[in-house]
Amino acid sequence: MKYYIIAGEASGDMHGANLIRALAREDVAADIRYWGGDSMAAAIAENPSLHAVQVRHIRELAYMGIVEVVSHLGTILGNMRCCKKDILTYRPDIVILIDYPGFNLDIAKFAHQQGIKNLYYISPQVWAWKQGRLRKMRRYLDRLCYILPSERPYYADGKLPQAVYVGHPLLDEVERYRSTAVAGAEEKKSRPTVALLPGSRKQELRRMLPVMAELASRHPECDFVIAGMSLIGEAFYRELTGKSSENIRIVYDQTYRLLGESDAAVVCSGTATLETTLFRVPQVVCYQCNKLSAAMARVLIGDKIKYISLVNLIADSRVVTELIQSDFNVERLDEEFRLIVREGEVRSAMLAKYDEVIETLGGKGASERTAAEVMKLITDRK
């Protein structure tokens, strides 16, 4: 059967990779065209019986913030035209859309209008803003697989009958890493290791990494390690860390290994906050975007949400500190960092709350459950 899969960001690429592995177990001769990155390519390489073609790489797709999206609107619209034309030419049995709502909801509408089944994996954040999206989702989606138990009230009681809760795929990814990681000798450390997770987009890195590097310069007693991406390259990271880089090193494409070895973390808000939680690493969450984008978001969101990090949203309480916009400065970051890097009341309380969050997410298997929903849709169609 023919599958058209679209992921537009690093987290979607990771979840898409695990979904491809699950689909390969259901359909060993699957034919796939996809928009994604290196993780999806690696999953395909593991299954040589699959036939797959990458249409676009995520490095061409990831834009964040209202102002940034507007400034790249020509490129985004060009990608959308390319995608629609490619779908019509390919005529897949199903289009699978992974997160990336600004782009993927439009493609879902297009697929529906063309009589092509679609499945949306990882719900758009209707609980945060643009709740009008719910009407569009009800009309155009054949299936929605959502991953957070806190999303149930938005879809239950007939609000979106085609919605199915599948659990969080990060549990699959972390389990897969732990099952394949090579155990080494326990290394004695005289200094704490601090993971810096500054994001996956260059816009994020420009805003987050210099402040994180300044924190490192204040703590020569710690080893700071950046979770880097090889596709971005060392020169860009070093440009942003500048003279503060004496106790900073970079590891590439090894975020989970780094988290497994870390005593604390400073994390750009996003999927990484939940990954850090699953590895039980105390963290400070940070986020800063273009001021105009932030002002527009405040108008649109208002007081609808209290938190931005996944771990706090799942718990519906403050598990970790969030330093947002002007609060993200080296003085505030240093203040919060000191509370978590060594044993103490704040660190212990955070780890206890992590356990509650992990229990809330349930067990692994989200990728397999989503693959099963894909196969049901295709079978129903035929």
Determine the pLDDT at residue 83.
96
Instruction: Please identify which residue in the block is written with the tokens 């990484």.
Output: 272
Per the model's pLDDT, the better-predicted residue between 205 and 61 turns out to be 205
Determine the pLDDT at residue 63.
52
pLDDT category of residue 150 using cuts at 50, 70 and 90: confident
Find all residues with CB under 8 Å of 352, minimum gap 6, and list them: none
CB atoms within 10 A of CB 341: 20
Q: Which of 97-101, 131-135, 260-264 has the lowest mean pLDDT?
A: 131-135
- Decide if 293 contacts 68 (C-beta within 8 A): yes
Instruction: Please identify which residue in the block is written with the tokens 């060594």.
Output: 342
Determine the pLDDT at residue 185.
47
Burial of residue 233, with CB atoms counted within 10 A of its CB: 0-12 exposed, 13-18 middle, 19 or more buried: exposed
Instruction: Please identify which residue in the block is written with the tokens 């931005």.
Output: 308
Radius of gyration (C-alpha) of the chain in whole angstroms = 21
Determine the pLDDT at residue 154.
85
Find all residues with CB under 8 Å of 374, minimum gap 6, and list them: 3, 23, 26, 94, 96, 119
Residue range 88-118, pLDDT digits in tens: 999 999 999 999 988 999 999 999 999 999 9
Find all residues with CB under 8 Å of 133, minimum gap 6, and list them: 101, 105, 124, 126
- Six-digit token string for 224: 């700071």
Determine the pLDDT at residue 289.
75
DSSP-derived letter for residue 253 is: S
Average pLDDT, the chain: 88
Instruction: Please identify which residue in the block is written with the tokens 């394949």.
Output: 180
Q: Does the pLDDT value for residue 74 go beyond 70?
A: no
Q: How far apart are the C-alpha atoms of 201 and 229, rounded to whole Å?
A: 10
N residues, the chain: 382
pLDDT category of residue 66 using cuts at 50, 70 and 90: very low
What counts of helices (H) and strands (E) characterise the chain? Answer: 17, 13
Tell me what the mean pLDDT of segment 163-189 comes to.
82
Q: Which of 7-11, 22-26, 292-296, 357-361 holds the top average pLDDT? A: 22-26
Determine the pLDDT at residue 157.
84
Tell me what the mean pLDDT of segment 270-289 comes to.
94
Find all residues with CB under 8 Å of 82, minimum gap 6, and list them: 55, 56
What is the share, in percent, of the chain residues with pLDDT greater than 70?
87
Q: Does the pLDDT value for residue 75 go beyond 90?
A: no
Determine the pLDDT at residue 31.
98
Determine the pLDDT at residue 67.
46
**Domains of the chain from N-terminus onward:** 2-169+365-381 (3.40.50.2000), 186-361 (3.40.50.2000)
Q: Which of 59-63, 167-171, 202-206 holds the top average pLDDT? A: 167-171
Determine the pLDDT at residue 299.
47
DSSP-derived letter for residue 320 is: S
Q: Could you tell me the sign of the dihedral formed by the alpha carbons of 356, 358, 364, 368, in that order?
A: positive
**Looking at this protein, which amino acid is placed at residue 181?**
A
- Decide if 313 contacts 150 (C-beta within 8 A): yes
Q: Does the pLDDT value for residue 173 go beyond 70?
A: yes
